[in-house]
Amino acid sequence: MLTKKLQNALNEQINREFFAEYLYLSMSAYLESIEMEGFANYFNVQAQEEHFHAMKMFNFVHDKGGRVILKSLKEPKANYSSVVDVIEESLKHEKYVTKSINELMDTAISENDHSVKSFLQWYIDEQVEEEATISKLLAKLKLIKGEGLGLLTLDSQLLERTYQPGK
């Protein structure tokens, strides 16, 4: 059984994960509107992954005898100045998620709930990968100054990305 403090903290994180899905769909829509189909695909896949992350936590709360309470999602940013701007915002968001997952782990430790700690380790590992992936993409974009043939090449490469369930 979850303590009330942990249940509340997990519910907050579930809402953050659903917001991440919503944010990445918004980023995808913006990128599609400027004909960057590969980058749009990248964020569409990201949105699917965030949905999986939210549902994994959603199901865990129920498995632990807790109750999921969903809250309103704020409107995500819809307009950006460039592809680089989108990627920078995405990295900023991933760092925010990492911080919130770490704080959730701190709560699990303070509440001495080993099953929640074990469960959250997957998210901690996932965030290392998420930040590294988007950081590398941003570095490449900065190298090519976010434009020209390099941008089109990256866009083409990102069209090949597909969602892998369970990621």
In CATH, what number is assigned to the domain containing residue 18? Answer: 1.20.1260.10
Q: Report yes or no on 163 lying in a domain.
A: no
What pLDDT, in 10s, does the model give residues 37-58?
A: 999 999 999 999 999 999 999 9
Average pLDDT over residues 94-108: 98
Q: Report yes or no on 152 lying in a domain.
A: yes
Q: Report yes or no on 85 lying in a domain.
A: yes
Whose CA is closest to 113, among 11, 3, 12, 10? 3
Q: Report yes or no on 19 lying in a domain.
A: yes
Q: Report yes or no on 27 lying in a domain.
A: yes
What pLDDT, in 10s, does the model give residues 60-76?
A: 999 999 999 999 999 99
Q: Report yes or no on 167 lying in a domain.
A: no
Task: Report the pLDDT value the prediction gives residue 167, as an integer from 0 to 100.
Answer: 65
What does pTM read for this prediction?
0.94
Say if residues 127 and 95 touch (Cβ distance below 8 Å). no
Domain that holds residue 138: 4-70+79-158
CA angle 10, 11, 14 (to 5 degrees): 85
User: 69-108 burial, b if ≥16 CB within 10 A, otherwise e?
Assistant: eeeeeeebeeebeebbebbbebbebbeebbebbeebbebb
Q: Report yes or no on 164 lying in a domain.
A: no
HSE-up (13 A, CA, CB side) for residue 77 = 12
Q: Report yes or no on 118 lying in a domain.
A: yes
**Domains: count for the chain:** 1
